[in-house]
Chain A
Amino acid sequence: MTGEIELSIPVRVDYVQLVRAVVGSLASTNPELSTARIADLRLVISEALTNAIRAQEKNSISERLIVLCKLTDSAIEVEVRDKATGFEVDLIPDLPPTESPERLQHERGLGLSIMREMSDGLEIESGPEGTVVHMTINSQNSNNS
């Protein structure tokens, strides 16, 4: 099955779980996508939505978030769009090494690396008008999960 859906959701944390469920259900209609790949999809979309919600909350922007999903025979592509003020991907600092006591001081900062590792393609376009995160999950994992 192929298809496309667009979700428009309020900037509320309780909607993240709902979006995971809807997108996961769409993905499960493609028999080529394994349970593990659908779990990867649910994780990356959760990360992207979390970032979008945090960004809009930080800037007190209540405009709804847009989630696009496109299912093909060999992959599912998802896109999360927010209307926050954007960020510089290259300026996100690295976390301290795991072995360092300093590591426990950082509760945030894992989302982007999770999206990079779990997806088969990650593109981020960010500017003062907002951010678009585009991710692809192939039915055959090109990463090591």
Chain B
Amino acid sequence: MNLEIHRSVEGKNVFLGLIGDLDMAGAPVLRQSIVKEVSQGNIFLVLDFAGVHFIDSSGLGSIIGGLRRVRSNQGNLFLVGVDDELQKIFRLCELDKIFKMDSNRETFSG
């Protein structure tokens, strides 16, 4: 299944609900979406991973690039709903030290 992105706005945060695999095929879809948000001035992004059950280094690369883009515009990027299997990969690559993750979507609402 190709990556689908469902967009919603809550307060100053734009939520991007990801559904599908974040791999070599999905990464450009997310990258393009983040570039579009930042170009529109939306620099506080929350990526909701509840619908993602696979990520590889291509997917990790796309969110590293996303974090760089929002931070260079004084924004930030947060991750919610990252399941245990995916968290294992973040830890393996030490990216849990870079990304602010929370299991609860409501943390970033309002």
In this complex, the interface size class of chain B, counting residues with CB under 8 Å from chain A, is 20 to 34
Closest-by-CB residue of A relative to B64 is A107
Number of A-B contacts (CB under 8 A): 68
Asked if B67 is at the interface (CB within 8 A of a chain A CB), the reply is yes
Query: Is B24 within 8 A of A108, CB to CB?
Result: no
| Contact B23–A110 (Cβ < 8 Å) | no
Q: List the one stretch of B7-15, B38-46, B92-100, B102-110 in contact with chain A.
A: B92-100
Residue of B nearest to A118 (CB): B92
User: Which residues of chain A come closer than 8 Å to B57, judged between CB atoms?
Assistant: 47, 50, 108-111, 114
Partner of B92, one of A14, A50, A99, A114: A114
State in angstroms the CA–CA spacing of A114 and B57 once bound together.
8
Q: Is B52 an interface residue (CB 8 A)?
A: no
Q: Evaluate contact between A117 and B68: CB separation under 8 angstroms.
A: no
Tell me, yes or no, whether A113 is within 8 Å of chain B by CB: yes
In this assembly, does A104 line the interface, its C-beta being within 8 Å of a C-beta of chain B? yes
Given the interface pairs A13-B25, A53-B24, A110-B93, the reply to whether A47 lies near B56 with Cβ below 8 Å is yes
Check A36 for interface membership: any CB of B closer than 8 A: yes
A33 to chain B: closest CB distance in Å? 15
Kindly provide the distance from the CB of B62 to the nearest chain A CB, expressed in whole angstroms. Answer: 7
B residues neighboring A (CB under 8 Å)? 1-2, 21, 23-25, 54, 56-58, 60-62, 64-65, 67-68, 71, 85, 88-89, 92-95, 97-98
| In the A-B complex, the 9 residue pairs with the closest CB atoms | A107-B61, A110-B57, A104-B68, A111-B57, A98-B94, A46-B56, A13-B25, A13-B24, A107-B65
